[in-house]
Each structure stands twice: as C-alpha cells, then as structure tokens.
Amino acid sequence: MPGLTSLLHRLPLNGKAAFVRGEIAWGTDNVMTQLETIFQNYLFKLKKSNNVKKLIYTHDL
C-alpha cells in the first residue's frame, strides 16, 4: 500500500487515475480508508458468498 499511495501522490492532477481497481483481497477496510483519505476513488470485486447473496436479494440492490 505505501508504494501505491506514493505513486498516486506523484501523479499530476491531469494524470490522476479515475479509480483504483483491485481484487477481492484488496478490499480491506485499511486499504479503503487510506484511499478515502487521499480522495481516491476505488473499485473492488465482491466475493459473492452465501451471506452476500442473501443480502443482495433481501435488499434488492
């Protein structure tokens, strides 16, 4: 994570990434909090476990 945030800080404003994309393992609270701190949008895959599927179908997301 330190390498990623360092890279994001070095990018010029017109070269800033629209969002950071990561696999399931990157979607931790620590990573998301760090990206939110620097106002960086992110997108992570969601592991569709049985409980997640129930939540999706229950709340009609």
Segments making up each domain of the chain, as ranges: 2-59
Tell me phi and psi for residue 16, to 5 degrees: -70, 140
Answer whether 44's CB lies under 8 Å from 23's CB: yes
Residues 7-50: pLDDT tens digits? 999 999 899 889 999 887 777 889 999 999 999 999 988 888 89
38 contacts 19 by C-beta, under 8 angstroms: no
pLDDT of residue 57: 85
Which of the pair, 25 or 57, is modelled with greater confidence?
A: 57
The confidence score (pLDDT) of residue 22 equals 85
Query: Which whole number is the average pLDDT over 44-59?
Result: 85
- Cα(43)–Cα(26) distance, rounded to whole angstroms? 10
pLDDT band at 55, cuts 50/70/90? confident
Segment (H or E) for 33: helix 29-37
Question: Can you give the pLDDT at residue 60?
Answer: 60
Residue 42 CA to residue 10 CA, distance in Å, equals 18
